[in-house]
């Protein structure tokens, strides 16, 4: 056994070993005469999570003083997209004081900004009541940028809205290379609403499959409002759907110009004869630009459906 592994067999006097079936380093539960507890866990995420669920949390549930009601740590997430963290914080203002003793964390990602509410060491019913009230308040303040709670997927939200209106969807993608269609088809039951998509990466496919006029491409380029609008109309026509999404852009790392820098993405959503197109300039590397583009395209359709 290497010497570095031998140190894993050492433990403080009086500590309780928490067996770790996923690795060689055990967890440790240390409790003093006053009932104060320290828990030591391995740093490997899979091992740490396993010990937390199987050993630590069950012990914490039974650790309260005799006769005391069990206290819990609960979280709820309010999901937003299409708004920067700074602008969202401005909308929420001094919400932390209003929702205390709950805490609020801003969790930005390529999909948007999640707002995580946490109740620490409260009784179960009190925690759930406070979380429900605070989540409703955050949703109200976030306004049109809110799209769901906890594990909500924007693609599922869009599909449900289309399904409720008995509308079908087709997509046309360039720089995202099928990411929008992948997001949609990851949702079980998508086939009752999603008809299909086309990756029109080259201009010849934009003209052949989507019937984007050659004159439009020559006059405005493949990354332009005129082109993305024509792509959305072409997808709707090609798949005979009531709704469509189109994306075209410059994901990088090359291909940008002063007028159209890397990260420039044009998005379009179309419902019946109503088309909405927006331009975004996304930060990040190629993968991040493409992921942000797919999320923004889904969000554009969500907003158009909500307005209809």
Task: Dump pLDDT digits (tens) for 98-128.
Answer: 999 999 999 999 999 999 999 988 889 999 9
User: For domain 71-149, which architecture applies?
Assistant: 2-Layer Sandwich (3.30)
- Give the per-residue pLDDT at 64: 63
> Among 50-64, 92-106, 239-253, which is the least confidently predicted range?
50-64
φ, ψ for residue 293, nearest 5 deg? -65, -45
What does CATH list as the number for 154-307?
Answer: 3.90.950.20
> Among 8-17, 18-27, 60-69, 103-112, which is the least confidently predicted range?
60-69
pTM (2 decimals)? 0.82
Rg (CA), the chain: 25
Residue ranges of the chain that CATH labels 3.90.950.20: 154-307
Specify whether the CB–CB gap between 290 and 298 falls below 8 A: no
Cis status of the peptide bond prior to 20, with omega within 30 of 0? no
Residue ranges of the chain that CATH labels 3.30.70.2860: 71-149
pLDDT surpasses 70 at 65: no
Nearest in space to 110 (alpha carbons), one of 26, 32, 179: 179
pLDDT tens digits along 254-289? 999 999 999 999 999 999 999 999 999 999 999 999
């Amino acid at each position: 056994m290497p010497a570095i592994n031998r140190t894993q067999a050492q433990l403080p006097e009086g500590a309780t070993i928490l067996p770790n079936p996923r690795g060689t380093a055990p967890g440790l539960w240390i409790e003093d005469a006053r009932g104060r507890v320290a828990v030591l866990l391995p740093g490997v995420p899979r091992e740490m999570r396993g010990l937390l669920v199987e050993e630590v949390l069950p012990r914490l549930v039974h650790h309260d003083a005799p006769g005391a009601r069990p206290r819990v740590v609960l979280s709820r997430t309010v999901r937003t997209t299409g708004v920067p963290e700074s602008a969202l914080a401005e909308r929420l203002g001094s919400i932390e004081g209003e929702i205390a003793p709950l805490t609020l964390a801003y969790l930005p990602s390529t999909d948007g900004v999640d707002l995580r509410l946490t109740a620490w060491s409260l009784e179960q019913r009190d925690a759930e009541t406070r979380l429900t009230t605070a989540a409703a308040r955050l949703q109200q303040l976030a306004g049109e940028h809110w799209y769901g709670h906890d594990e909500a997927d924007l693609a599922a939200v869009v599909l449900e809205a289309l399904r409720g209106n008995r509308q079908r969807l087709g997509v046309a993608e360039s720089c995202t290379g099928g990411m929008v269609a992948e997001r949609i088809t990851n949702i079980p039951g998508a086939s009752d609403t999603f008809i299909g998509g086309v990756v029109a990466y080259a201009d010849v496919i934009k003209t052949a499959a989507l019937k984007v006029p050659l004159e439009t491409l020559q006059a405005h380029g493949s990354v332009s409002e005129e082109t993305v609008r024509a792509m959305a109309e072409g997808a709707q026509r090609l798949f005979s759907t009531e709704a469509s999404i189109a994306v075209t852009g410059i994901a990088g790392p090359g291909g940008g110009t002063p007028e159209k820098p890397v990260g420039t993405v044009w998005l379009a959503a179309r419902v019946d004869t109503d088309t909405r197109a927006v331009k975004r300039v996304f930060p990040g590397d190629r993968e991040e630009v493409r992921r942000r583009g797919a999320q923004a395209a889904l969000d554009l359709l969500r907003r158009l459906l909500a307005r209809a």
